[in-house]
Amino acid sequence: MKKRICVFTGSRAEYGLLRPLISALKEDGAFEVRLLVSGMHTEKQYGLTHQEIIKDGIAIDAMVRIMTRDNSTNGVARAMGKGIVEFVRILSQWKPDLVVILGDRFETLAMAQSAMLARVAIAHIHGGEATYGAMDEAIRHAITKISHLHFTSTDEYRRRIIQLGEDPRRVFNVGALGIDNIHQLKLMSREEAQRQMGFCFKERNLLVTFHPVTLHPGQSRKQFQTLLNELDCLKNTQLIFTKSNADMEGVEINGLIDKYVRSHQDKAVAFASMGQVVYLSALKWIDAVVGNSSSGIIEAPSFKIGTINIGDRQDGRVRASSVIDCPATSAGIKRALRCLYSRGFQKKLPLVKNPYGREGAAQKIVAILRRQRPSGLLVKKFFNIKALSKG
């Protein structure tokens, strides 16, 4: 009998990472796969990215709209509440053996809670990571304690999950799924990328992605405006903006992006969603990723390009030598931009190694899921590390 797998996705970035795994699961005869789509995928302001899933030829088995235009604390709470009600209803109908989730967003937590209530085992991808400057930190570890199987992207993250009391026999370092996309997707030539984006690369080119700093209410707009001021001082530099996610204060950041692009149409372009092929193709031809996105930490090093990581949102993540950390201040960003284009930094980029591994994560996960008995996963016991228990 085939194992019934429910894969959940609530955002463009998360789906992009899950895409190679969804395809691998569907191609394997051991699984019956259903896809549950929700969150930002259903909203026009975030690009109606469920359409990208359809274009990829992947069937959507259920789509649940939970978001509101209110991205305040109350709005997020309402979205989570509605999500739990609807997700439990669907899981009760589908009766999957396992739910696959990735990451640390609030709608992902709602899905994990729903699977727990529906008594369905959970496989969690990208757990064990640390982002001390974001609410995601707490959400990620909460999902870890609810989940039953864990697929991490580095050995350090695997050890961290075990430190949280998870059985080492259920925690697997498989590398990052995003690396699979880099190697498997046919990326565009420079000319093709320019046509697709309606954008012209010039002497210098940067891709900017900045998300809300959720642990510092009221600071996101200020920090992003500081970044815009410094970018505006750059000469002969083209800017590609990808808009913020649906976290609190994301709307304010996107408003600043729209305003900036309207007044700098000769040098800037913005996208609610670029899609994986266009986004990764852009990384192939730019100088650096600038902002505070995990993509600058995980995927960018594979392209041998720089990353300017601003503020503390990604503090705690394992990073390559191509990542330049700086405070979210005018002076800090200015120094980081000088460093990015310095001869010494540019000289070392071809030698950069990505700590998140090479391709193959999706196939590793499929092989592990094939061996599992989902019915035996629901009972969890806290794993005590002997060295700690003796102390």
For residue range 46-74, list pLDDT tens digits in order.
788 899 899 989 999 999 999 877 778 88
- 151 and 21, same domain (yes or no): yes
What's the pLDDT score for residue 260?
A: 96
Range 371-380 contact pairs with CB under 8 angstroms and sequence separation of 24 or more = 372/3, 372/98, 372/149, 374/3, 374/97, 374/98, 374/121, 375/97, 377/98, 377/121, 377/148, 377/149, 377/170, 378/119, 378/121, 378/148, 380/148, 380/166, 380/167
Is the residue at 108 inside a domain?
Answer: yes
CATH code, 167: 3.40.50.2000
Average pLDDT of span 84-102:
97
Are 284 and 171 in a shared domain?
no
Strand order across the 323-326 sheet: 268-271, 237-242, 204-209, 288-291, 306-310, 323-326
CA dist., res. 375 & res. 98, Å (int): 9
Round the average pLDDT of the chain to a whole number and report it.
92
Query: Do 69 and 193 reside in the same domain of the chain?
Result: no
Is 181 within a domain?
no
- Identify whether residues 378 and 278 lie together within a single domain: no
> What are the backbone angles phi and psi of residue 100, rounded to the nearest 5°?
-105, 125
Maximum Cα–Cα distance for the chain, whole Å?
65
The reported pTM is: 0.86
* pLDDT, tens digit, 9 for 90 and up, residues 120-164: 999 999 999 988 777 788 999 999 999 999 999 999 999 999 999
Q: Which of 111, 108, 104, 69 is nearest to 87 (CA)?
A: 111
Kindly state the percentage of the chain with pLDDT values over 90: 77
Mean pLDDT over residues 228-250, rounded? Answer: 89
Does residue 222 belong to any structural domain of this protein?
yes
Please check whether residue 312 lies inside any domain of the structure. Answer: yes
Q: Rounded to whole angstroms, how far apart are CA atoms 311 and 294?
A: 13
Does residue 381 share a domain with residue 343? Answer: no
Measured CA to CA, the distance from residue 213 to residue 338 in angstroms comes to 24
Where do we find the tokens 């009760």? Answer: 92
| Co-location of 34 and 106 in the same domain | yes
In a domain, 15, yes or no: yes
Q: How confident is the model at residue 214 (pLDDT cuts 50, 70, 90)?
A: low
Is the same domain home to 200 and 277? yes
| Residues 25 and 106 placed together within one structural domain of the fold | yes
> Within 10 Å of residue 351's Cβ, how many Cβ atoms?
9
- Are residues 364 and 302 both part of a single domain? no
When divided into structural domains, the chain yields a total of: 2
Q: Are residues 158 and 213 both part of a single domain?
A: no
Domain assignment present for 182: no
Task: Please give the single-letter amino acid code of residue 204.
Answer: R
Structural domain span for residue 320: 188-351
Q: Closest by alpha carbon to 91, among 106, 59, 67, 113?
A: 113
Same domain, 196 and 93: no
Helix (H, G, I), strand (E, B) or coil at 115: helix
> 77: how many CB neighbours lie within 10 A of its CB?
12
**Domain contains 183:** no
Q: Is the CB of residue 249 less than 8 Å from the CB of residue 212?
A: yes
Q: Is residue 338 part of a domain?
A: yes
* 284 vs 270: CA distance, rounded Å: 18
315 and 367 in a single domain? The answer is: no
